[in-house]
A and B are shown apart, each in its own frame.
Chain A
């Protein structure tokens, strides 16, 4: 088993409110304290990293302490940038009286249902590929399960989609070759390749640009997918509480993660009642909790598990995060690889 912090990418996921942001923050702090340059990235549109660290963090990498930076991805800003680029290049191709129409047209893309997700994934993929040169470790504090699973399945879907588009282009090009043989010197064949003639850019240059755009896309998706499914690079940590719904949802999430070949490194059972908490009410709750703990131990027996108690106060600021980090390190000993390998 690889030590956790020898991975380059850690995803912290789970149902809403179970403690993902808290655990991601504690892990990031622990890794940074151990000497690893770490970037902690929130992909949850309802960001709360800044609240936990008690500092404003935004769509730019923000220093949070020695070896540690934070980032809250803003998919809207990302989409804005992408859409602005496309608008510009469209306008360079048409008469100015068309500008208004193009603006309206491209605006539609901004409001299409998949846009925010696509923009978020794009930024994540860029980080997974590029941040490696600047950071030892990338920790993603993710949005509640469903959203994240969908996001993690997108690279595969998109790679297949782009493959499909490229195969249409390839077939068209091959048929075009055949047509050339039929009609050596005639150039009025149909197909995009040849219609229209002079005012268009030459086919080869257009074909080349299309191909390049598609190839770049495909390369990025394949690369993200490779990193995501490589157990020596990526670890998914699933956070849950000893309660019925988080257990049910964790089962589903694990099934989906294994379907998409995302390596799961372990589970963190958070917010357990402290053993010394007294009173009839808590005694009863603890009885129920014990049953769920047992269920967790049986259901997820194959996975490494860490147990964390409910603290008497909210998690706020680095001191509490360190406290949680220590509790995790205690249970795993060297398995975190908290000290950076020489």
Chain B
């Protein structure tokens, strides 16, 4: 076995070890991030769901930007279909 091959193998092992090590953290961080994003979406779309929101008027212009995230969000929030009457993104 050549030295370079050994180095390559070692690197692979180190990679696998770090993956195994990072995995739980990564999913924790990913979940934490998703929570932040979901809260942000909630602040923008809450009024559509009947939750009064004093800032809706001022954040209305964020709705178009967030539109393509809307489906991911409402399904993740446990609503299989769009909560908006007549707004069928799915």
A binds B: yes
User: Residue A52 at the B interface, CB < 8 A?
Assistant: no
* Residue of chain A at shortest CB distance from B18: A182
Interface string of A161-179 (1 = CB under 8 A from B): 1101100110110011011
Partner of B87, one of A105, A109, A210: A105
Contact partners of A154 in chain B: CB under 8 A:
54
B26 touches A101 (CB 8 A): no
Interface string of B8-33 (1 = CB under 8 A from A): 00000000000000100110011111
A210 touches B36 (CB 8 A): no
Please, how many angstroms separate the alpha-carbon atoms of A29 and B43 in the complex? Answer: 45
Please, how many angstroms separate the alpha-carbon atoms of A283 and B68 in the complex? Answer: 73
Please, how many angstroms separate the alpha-carbon atoms of A200 and B65 in the complex? Answer: 10
Residues in B53-86 with C-beta less than 8 Å from chain A: 53-65, 67-69, 72, 84-86
Interface string of A183-205 (1 = CB under 8 A from B): 10000011111011001100000
A175 touches B67 (CB 8 A): no
B residues near A, CB below 8 A? Answer: 22, 25-26, 29-34, 36-37, 39-40, 43, 47-48, 52-65, 67-69, 72, 84-88
A-B contact pairs, 23 of them (CB 8 A): A83-B60, A86-B61, A90-B64, A93-B68, A101-B88, A102-B87, A104-B85, A104-B87, A108-B48, A109-B47, A112-B47, A114-B52, A119-B57, A162-B55, A172-B37, A175-B36, A176-B33, A179-B33, A190-B30, A191-B30, A191-B33, A213-B65, A217-B58
Contact partners of B57 in chain A: CB under 8 A:
79, 82, 109, 112, 114-115, 118-119, 122
* Residue of chain A at shortest CB distance from B52: A113
Interface string of A303-334 (1 = CB under 8 A from B): 00000000000000000000000000000000
A128 CB to nearest chain B CB (Å): 16
**Contact residues of A: prevailing secondary structure:** helix
A residues near B, CB below 8 A? Answer: 79, 82-83, 85-86, 89-90, 92-94, 100-102, 104-106, 108-109, 112-115, 118-119, 122, 154, 157-158, 161-162, 164-165, 168-169, 171-172, 175-176, 178-179, 182-183, 189-193, 195-196, 199-200, 206, 209-210, 213-214, 217
